[in-house]
Structures are given as structure tokens and as C-alpha cells.
Amino acid sequence: MNINKLFFHIHYCNGKKFKEPRKHLKKLTRTLQHHELIFFTGGKGNVVIGKKSYQLKEGMLFYICPDVLHSIEIDTEIPICFQSVHFSYANVSFNEGKWSVCDEVQMLSLDAAQHLKDYYQIEDLFKKLLDCWNAKLPGYEFMSKTLLQQLFIAIAQNVKKQNQNYATSLKIEKIIQYMNQHMNHRVTLTELADLVQLSSTYLSRAFKVVTGYSVIEYFNKMKMDKAKEMILEGDKKIKEVAGELGFTDEFYFSRIFKRIEGISPSEYYSKNVHGV
């Protein structure tokens, strides 16, 4: 799940813990116009999303999309605890100096239901999110959005550890570390594939799934981030910056920089160093 370009709006947060047993079932059936994450840490019941039914148990995380009929049936004789956040989001990107916003409703890359293990961090972030939202202190909306992003990152990391492809994710992290250590060199896909003993084709596909970028896009992005730091130091010419980052062609470096940042390296220097 790539959340780099997602901008969230939280509609509301909710959380309940029923301590007193009751002798009847409580059922909620509805369709939402936004997204919901609901996390159960206790209780007994049944959740139906679309046409699929799931048994409710501790550690269950449900993701409910807009316009999907769902029902939650709770056995209130068993104490229940849940935390939820209702939200919408837009895809916001910055390319070639221009902002673009896509608010078309799409599904996030989350399963409708999954059983999490070792979920302390997720439960803690959910609690912080609910506490922040309910306190309504100045700046709570911005803080809540930040906590929601952290929550998604924690969920992605938790799922990755449980996934059978966790070993591949570790190999991709190793590749990123390698690229960071060889910023001043040209690195080939074959070289990276040999490093982690994967085929070039499989590595390309897996890298895109994990990071949201192709291998070369990610490496160039890392290099441009470093280039900005070097340009702001103000003691190197653009050609020197390009050379130290493994580019033999200053003009190719400038084209990559402009494609990612929207302005040329010289324009970036003028605006940020001289304020022109």
C-alpha cells in the first residue's frame, strides 16, 4: 500500500467497550458513502461485507469501502471492544511543478477482513487517534490525519510481516540500502537482482508493488533528494553535483531533476539560495 500521494479527511472516529453483559443481539446494517477501518480487540459476533461473512474475534481488522452493504451483529453477552475511523481521501501529486488532485473513489489495497497478530502498535495508534479526535484540542484535525497515516503504515508493516512474501520485502529494503550507499554510481537492474538473488523481472515487479515506483524511478528520486541538499549548500556547480551523483551528462541530470521537481537545478538554486 502506497500512501505517499494520499490526502485524508476524517469524518469521525468511534470506539466502544461494553463491560456490562446484555441478553440480546445488537445488529447494524448500512451502506457508507466513505471508507471505514474498524478494529476489534474483544467480543463475539459476525460481520458481513458484501456477500461474505466473517466471524468476529480479537485482532480482526475490517476495511469497508464506499457503497458496500455490510452488517455487524454483536453478541452483547460477551464484552466487546472496537475502535473505528471513518474517512475519505484524494490522490494528490506534484509533477513538473504542478499539483493535481484526483478524488475519484477507489479501494485501498487492504483486504476487507484480516486477522492481525502482534497488534499492540496498531491498537496504541488507534487509541491515540481516538483520544486526539475526542479531545478536540487546537490542531486536532491535522494531528488526527497524521495519526491516521501512521496507522496505515503500522498496518502495512504488520501485514508485511505476516505475508509469505516478507522475505522479498526484506530483499527490497536491502536493495534500497545498497542504492543509498552507492548514490555516486550507476547501478544496473541486473546488479541489484544478483545482490538479492532474484530475477530481474521478478525484482522489477516486486519493487513496484512494495514502493509504488520502478527501480530507476526510486533511485533517481533518491538522487534528486540528495541533489537538492547539495545545491542548497551553495558551494558546488550543477555539473559537480551531477558528477558526484553518478551522472556523466549534466543535461540528462537536469532533465531528470526538472521532471521530478518541476524546475531546473539552476532555477532551484536561484530560488532557494538567492531568493530570485
Q: Nearest CA to 245 among 263, 265, 262, 261?
A: 265
Residues with Cβ within 8 Å of 70's Cβ and at least 6 positions away in sequence, in order, are: 29, 30, 31, 47, 48, 49, 50, 64
Is 16 within 8 Å of 81 (Cβ atoms)? yes
How confident is the model at residue 212, as a pLDDT? 80
Distance CA 77, CA 97 (A): 58
* Structural domains of the chain in order of their starting residue, each with its CATH number: 6-162 (2.60.120.280), 166-276 (1.10.10.60)
How confident is the model at residue 195, as a pLDDT? 94
Q: Which stretches of the chain drop beneath a pLDDT of 50?
A: 1, 20
How confident is the model at residue 95, as a pLDDT? 76
How confident is the model at residue 203, as a pLDDT? 93
Residue 169 three-state SS: helix
Q: What share of the chain is helix, strand, coil (3-state, %, to 5)?
A: 45, 25, 30
How confident is the model at residue 25, as a pLDDT? 54
Residue 130 three-state SS: helix
Place of cell 496498531: 122
The model's pTM is 0.66
How confident is the model at residue 181, as a pLDDT? 93
Strand partners, 30: 70
Distance CA 215, CA 204 (A): 7
